Every structure is written in C-alpha cells, then in structure tokens.
Structure 1
C-alpha cells in the first residue's frame, strides 16, 4: 500500500550577487557565506493515506513542480523529509527523460527499467504499452519526431503498465488530445479502485474535483489551504483576482460546506431565490419544472458597467451551466450607489435528481479578473427530484422521443 508522509519539507537555492562569489566560496569554505538562500518551498507538511487521491493546485511559481520533484526523488530537499512506501510511478515532465535519438521502443525499455521492470516483464508488457500509447509505426521511430502528445502517451503507458502503489502525475497529461485524456483518467480511476494512492497536479478544476478526495493549495512556497476539492478550488478561484485588493472570506455553512465570497464590494448580492413561475419559493424542484432564479443586487458605489453572471453546479462543484449579462448583451450602465436591481431568470430545470448550487458573480466584463465586485460560491443550494418523468441516468434531462421503424 502506498503511503506518503511529508514533514517540514523545504527547498532553497543559493543566489550569488557576483559571479566570482561562487568560486570564492568554493575555494575557501571557511570564509563567510557569499550567497543568499532563495526559498521556493518551505515548511510543507502533509500525509496521504493509502488509496487516497490528493490534488495539488496553485499559480505558476507556487512550488508545485519543486514539491513533486522532491517526492519523486529527482531533487533533494534542503530541509525536512519525504517518506513513501510501495512502488512509485511518477509522470512529471514530457517524455520522462526520453532520449530524442532513441526510438520509442528503446526509450520505453529504458524507462521501464528505471521503474524497476525486469527484461522478461518488459517483453510481456510491451504489447499492452504499444496498444495504450497508440503511436502506431512511430514506436520504432526516434522520439525527436514525436509530437508532445505522443511523448506523453508513451510515457504514461510505460509508467502505468503495472499498477503502482503511488502514482504522481504533473500537468503533462494536459497536452494530450481529448480522447487520450479520457483514456488516461479512466486508467487512473481504475487504479484508484484497486488501491493506488494518487497525487495529481493540475489546473483543471473538473479533474481535481472529480478524481480527488482532498486538495492542497500551494501559495508562495507554502500550504495556503487543505480541504475538500470544491472548497479549495473556490478559494483558489477567488485568489486569482487578489491583485484588486479584494477580500476573500470563507464561511462554514450549517450543512458543513464552506461558502466562499470574494470581491471589492462595490456591489453585492443580497438575496438568491428559486421559485416557480408564479413566484412562490420552492423547497424542491421537479425535473423539467419551469422555474425562476431571482437574484437581488445592491449597489454600494457608482459603477460604470455592471454584469451579473451565474452558474449551476452539481454536488462536486462542477459547472452544469453558466452565463452572464455580458454574453446576453444586457449590461447595466452607469449604475448609482444605493440602487437595487432584481435579476429575474427563467428556465426549465432540465437537471437530473440531486443537489445543486448557484454561484453568482458581479463584474464589469465577462470575467472576474478585471473588476471582481463580488464572487459568491454556494449562494444557494437546492434539490431536484424526479416527480413525473420516467427513470433516466445522468445530470441532465432531455425530453427525448424515440421512434423505432422496422427495416425489411
């Protein structure tokens, strides 16, 4: 079983103000240090239980790749320790160290040997590796003629030819085509069912929330947050607009979920309701029922342009549908402090049975990265039940008509 223990891990690099300082320090180590330490990762501690899947996210430069390199053993830590049990397979960078002049088959053999596969085992596994990588005749061509996606397919096929106890995957899978991404994540999910411990680094919100049990947010070389994937991704999304001197706040709801709110506060949502067409609040929404989403907005300061965005998310926090009044060409121009605006949105609730949430955004354009007046996750949680429709599977209800015509 794969177990990961990271204790007060840190990584620092020496920085010299003059070129000759490095040589002087090397020639006379007894002299005072001529360098300064630049910490890219410091005091990071966490545990990953056997069979658990943990996602690691953070902006570029947060220390994600450095952390994974230390976990994989390709970089030594400056402080702290890493302890892992079981066989580890790591896919950190394109090609996994493939030599560009060797063929894909030769590189697969060398990579497999580095992972601990024996010669007989590699010979037995090679047909499966070729089939999964799907590089065709390129298997016996030099890797230098491969596209980045082909390199990733071959590297992933080799790394996962035998189910590892611990699988570490960096952003490399993001360069593959859509079909291969689905194929690789299907293999990851299958490994998880069999007990593989997974550490996944990705900016893909859907991947983190659908695969992982827990998420860790890295920021400025340290752990900024560690919690459920949905809560961490909501907080990360709020952080992306932090340059606007906005506030970021998380409130624990009575149902145990964390409601994340961020923004500069020039406009705020004061009420969110789901009602029937007559305007009566609904406790439960029927599948396909016509409903009204009513969002009340209070303006705190004069705003030249105000856009309301909203999205419907499933229980994992994945967006089912979203739009905004910039896309519908209904911006509010020159709104004044003290005004209140009611947005009345009507649609059929063509959703599968389950729990859903409403996320709202008050911005000036189609994105919150320009002016984020308020971004509110879990602004409303509602339940959809199947009252009068035949049984179906999935998160969307489609009013289908099936015609069967006998063919002679």
Structure 2
C-alpha cells in the first residue's frame, strides 16, 4: 500500500466580481470567476514506504503549494491526497511561532498543533533543547531569535518523534553549515529506520545524497519523475534553455540516460580520456596522470568559446569542475568550420568507483549565459586501486604521518 497518493491534484486562485458570487461558488452554483490562475494542475504520483523523494523546480513551479496541500494547510481545487501515516513538516521558518513566547513555550504550542500532548512533550523537551543548541535563548522571546535560531528550534520539535513521512521545504537553507550537517544526519537516521522523506531543495548534492527518486515540476505540472541524477541533469538543462526547445534526452547503448541542450553554434565532436602514453583508457589507477581530450566543432562564427567539464560520482554528485574561463585560457572569436581540441591534464586523485564527465561549450563563466552545447555523461570511466594503500572515499588524499611525543 502506498504511504502517500496524490491523484490529479490541482490548485487555482480565483477572483470574483462580488462576494456574493464567491459565496454562491461555495454552494456549487455555476458561477464563473472573473479571473483564474492555476498554480498546480494534473499532478499525480505515489510514494512507497521508505522512499526518499526530492521535489525540484524553478521558483514559481508550485513546489511549496504542493507540500502545503499534502500537509493539509492548503485545500486543493481539484484532485485528492491520501496519506497513510503521520506527517512531520518543516515548511516555513518558525512554523507559526508566536514571537512573544519563548522557544520552550513555542515548542509546546507547535507540538500541540502536531497532535502531541503536554505529557508526551515533557519526555522529550530536554532532547529538543539539547538538539537545538541555542543555550539560554531557549527561554527567551522568539522575537529575539535570528532566522537560524528559529530554524534550529523548528527542526528540533518537528523531529522530536520519528514520523512516517518527513517533509522539509527550503527552510533548512537558512541554517548554518554545522546545523545543516546535524539536521541531515538526523534525516539519514530516520531514513534508516524507515521514514519516508519528501524534500524540496535547489541543492543538487542534497537531492542526490538523500533521495532515490526526484520529481521535477515546471509551470505547475510534473514533467519528469525518475532517478535523481537523470532528473537533475534535465533540470539544469531547462534552466540554461529558458525556452526548453533544445533540450534532448538520449538513451545510450549502456542504458544510461543522457541530457543534451544548446544552440549548436558549436558542438562536442568527441570526448576521451588518455593515460600518460596517450592511449585511450576506460580504467584508471588511483593517482595516475590522465588527460581529458575534448574535440569541438565550430558550426557558425561565434564571438567567444569557453569549454568546461564536470566530474561526477556514480550518484551524480559533483566531484570537480572547471572551465577555460576560470583557467584564464578562453578563446576569442572562432570561425565556422574550425575544429579545436582541448586537453585537460590532471592526476586521477579519486577514490575507487565509477565516474562520469559532463562537458559544456558556452560563453563567459558558465553555460547560463550562452549555451552552445551541454552534454551530461559525455564520458564514463572507472578508477581502480592498483598499487595504493587501502582507503575509502571519493578522493585520494594520502597523508604524511608523524609521531610526536
């Protein structure tokens, strides 16, 4: 049985010529609104127990509206939501905290709204105070809190008891780095215990590190639902291509899904990885020198050419990226018919595992300005440990050890 089912969900904001017409609509009389704006329309998906789902999309796509309807703080205009479990949600900073009450008093108030009794909260209030780590401010008025302090208390009370479904909006982004790490550790702990996670974030690392599935919203509808890396690649492509007319999704012979976008004024001819002898390689020993070769065709005259690459691990998380703009070697005007080869030499100081390389051709410092071509999974290679001492992680950072008495 699904833990959460969203079926044909829609939300419209309507304006009427008079309050009488609005009241008539409440009684299902056929009164047409003077204006109607749909924020969400025809949204459907199921979430199974234990899944971790990332909701992504540009500002105004309807992400927060969707979460508010799932938690019951906003009523849908059409469709239905079925929830089979207790939800804990952190949607907005402060969770409706009363600024005149102390943090401790607001904890009891918020917990009451979540359905917990005072007696239940008595058993965990010390844990909440310890997790929030705001010291004596816990008994001070919330109006004296910074946004980060409010976030600490809000997260601590929302996660005082493990829920079946944990919903987190962008609120965590206001916290400091230390508390973000602490919060994500608790989220991962809940996941291991079976909690289903629904998170909205623009942080690719958070989505791919926590989630096994992602849903992309665009203009209030679901346009992609699948593996996080595939969805985030597509999301990045449509951000670069505002009209979405050049975004293509290609299934490779390996079964991997590759996202391509760009105006095609310049295009990627080939991408390869070579060892110290110049031979093309697919398997690279840890720490060995390699050269990434990128051939580019210039199809029409262009004012500038910048070539960049991004190495990503098997989960699609970014390991290292740069481009010729940041390296101080971008090229000025290029003519149609030119073919160029770029060679990026580096040591493969990477951990054992599979990696992919995304390549971008553009102007200025990023592909957001003028994107000639962006190609995810342009190359896949594997790093193996042939002659290094055993280690774990995505980076090879061998230390020099000293013993000091």
Distance 1:400 1:28 in 2: 74
Distance 1:251 1:222 in 2: 22
1:244·1:264 contact (CA, 8 Å) conserved in 2?
no
Matched, 1:12 2:8: no
Distance 1:133 1:125 in 2: 12
- Greater shift in the superposed pair: 381-390 or 36-45: 36-45
Q: Name the counterpart of 2:344.
A: 345
Distance 2:115 2:384 in 1: 51
2:8·2:42 contact (CA, 8 Å) conserved in 1?
yes
- The structural deviation recorded for 1:114 is 1.4
SS in 2 for 1:373: strand
Q: Name the counterpart of 1:192.
A: 191
- The structural deviation recorded for 1:345 is 1.1
- The structural deviation recorded for 1:135 is 1.2
- The structural deviation recorded for 1:343 is 0.3
SS in 2 for 1:90: strand
- The structural deviation recorded for 1:403 is 1.7
Q: Name the counterpart of 1:160.
A: 159
Matched, 1:237 2:236: yes
- The structural deviation recorded for 1:35 is 2.1
1:245·1:264 contact (CA, 8 Å) conserved in 2?
no
SS in 2 for 1:328: coil
SS in 2 for 1:334: coil
Question: Per-residue CA shift, 1:312-346, capped at 9, x if unaligned?
Answer: 11111111111100011111111001000000111
Q: 1:26–1:73: structure 2 CA closer, same or farther, 3 Å change rule?
A: closer
Question: Per-residue CA shift, 1:341-371, capped at 9, x if unaligned?
Answer: 0001111100000000111110111111110
Q: Name the counterpart of 1:269.
A: 268
1:25 alignment partner, one of 10, 21, 28: 21
1:2·1:197 contact (CA, 8 Å) conserved in 2?
no
Distance 1:246 1:329 in 2: 32
SS in 2 for 1:12: strand
TM-score normalised to structure 2 length: 0.97
2:238·2:244 contact (CA, 8 Å) conserved in 1?
no
TM-score normalised to structure 1 length: 0.96
Distance 2:249 2:401 in 1: 47
SS in 2 for 1:280: coil
Q: Which runs of 5+ in 1 are unaligned?
A: none
1:247·1:263 contact (CA, 8 Å) conserved in 2?
yes
- The structural deviation recorded for 1:380 is 0.2
Q: Name the counterpart of 2:100.
A: 101
Q: Which runs of 5+ in 2 are unaligned?
A: none
Matched, 1:116 2:115: yes
- The structural deviation recorded for 1:31 is 8.1
Q: Name the counterpart of 1:366.
A: 365
Consecutive aligned runs of 4 or more in structure 1 exceeding 4 Å deviation: 26-32
- The structural deviation recorded for 1:396 is 0.6
Matched, 1:75 2:74: yes
Q: Name the counterpart of 1:304.
A: 303
1:244·1:371 contact (CA, 8 Å) conserved in 2?
no
- Pairwise mapping of residues 57-72 of structure 1 onto structure 2 (< 5 A)? 57-72=56-71
